[in-house]
């Protein structure tokens, strides 16, 4: 099992709900594009034709596609490995990106399907040329509030998410520290082995 490198469950739970919750205000292009992804994901979840058990795989495939269109998982993977990334061959980098992307997408879809109407409020966005940070807040049905910021960069005309900061905790930094710990204490190969074990485990849970 690959539980050691998984972000805190509460943080990941909030991250995934934030992708789904409707906005109460809008800002510039970064916020607008994230909101467009929100609408697409909600449409998939609410589509009655995709609710039957026979079409669960199709629904999940559509959710993964919608998520991957907004997140730059390749950039997240590179940042999550930090200095270790440069030591990998091109083939190893490609393998890691695919593995990292698959694990995150699977985790996201698992939690997206348990969405229960949390509210997502967009507050503002900070722009710096081709980079921006969308400042937002999550409000639960019990009135609890949590800060959540998307870090995005402009890529081929689209604002892509490369990190999410939840209550001042960076998702990428959290992965980087845990990945590095495994690599330093064991090896990069051990990290990949654990990730593949987790991939098999998650795939088996969906059968």
Question: What is the separation of C-alpha 84 from the centre of its chain, rounded to a whole number of angstroms?
Answer: 21
Q: What pTM was estimated for this model as a whole?
A: 0.78
**What total number of domains does the chain contain?**
1
Residue 7 lies in a domain: yes
Residue 83 lies in a domain: yes
pLDDT at residue 4, rounded to an integer: 42
Structure token pair of residue 80 = 């999550």
Chunked into runs of 10 residues, the chain (207 residues) has average pLDDT values of 44 46 53 84 85 89 90 96 97 96 86 72 90 88 86 94 92 94 97 94 72
Give the tens place of pLDDT for each residue, 102-155: 998 888 788 777 766 777 788 999 999 999 999 988 788 788 898 989 899 999
Residue 131 lies in a domain: no
pLDDT at residue 207, rounded to an integer: 56
| Region of residue 102 (left: phi > 0; alpha: psi -120 to 50; beta: else) | alpha
Q: Buried b vs exposed e over 150-171: b needs ≥16 C-beta within 10 Å?
A: bbbbeeeeebbbbbbbbeeebb
Q: What angle do CA 188, 191, 196 make, to 5 degrees?
A: 130
pLDDT at residue 6, rounded to an integer: 42
Residue 51 lies in a domain: yes
Residue 10 lies in a domain: yes
pLDDT at residue 14, rounded to an integer: 46
Contact 165, 171 (CB under 8 A): yes
pLDDT at residue 193, rounded to an integer: 97
pLDDT at residue 115, rounded to an integer: 66
**Domain limits for position 193:** 3-117+170-205
Residue 122 lies in a domain: no
DSSP 4-49: GGSPPHHHHHHHHHHHHSPPS---SHHHHHHHHHHHHHHHHHH-GG
């Amino acid at each position: 099992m690959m539980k050691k490198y998984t972000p805190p469950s509460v943080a990941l739970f909030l991250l995934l709900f934030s992708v789904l919750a409707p906005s109460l205000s809008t800002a510039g292009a970064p916020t607008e594009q994230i909101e467009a992804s929100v609408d697409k994901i909600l449409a998939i979840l609410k589509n009655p034709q995709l609710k039957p058990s026979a079409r669960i795989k199709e629904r999940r495939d559509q959710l993964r596609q919608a998520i991957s269109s907004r997140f730059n998982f390749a950039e997240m993977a590179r940042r999550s490995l930090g200095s270790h990334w440069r030591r990998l061959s091109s083939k190893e980098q490609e393998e890691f990106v695919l593995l990292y992307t698959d694990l995150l997408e699977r985790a996201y879809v698992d939690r997206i399907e348990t969405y229960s109407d949390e509210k997502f409020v967009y507050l503002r966005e900070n722009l710096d040329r081709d980079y921006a940070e969308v400042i937002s807040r999550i409000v639960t049905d019990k009135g609890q509030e949590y800060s959540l910021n998307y870090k995005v960069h402009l890529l081929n005309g689209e604002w892509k998410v490369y990190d999410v900061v939840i209550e001042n905790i960076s998702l990428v930094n959290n992965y980087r520290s845990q990945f590095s710990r495994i690599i330093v204490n064991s090896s990069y190969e051990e990290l990949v082995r654990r990730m593949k074990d987790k991939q098999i485990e998650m795939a088996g849970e969906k059968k």
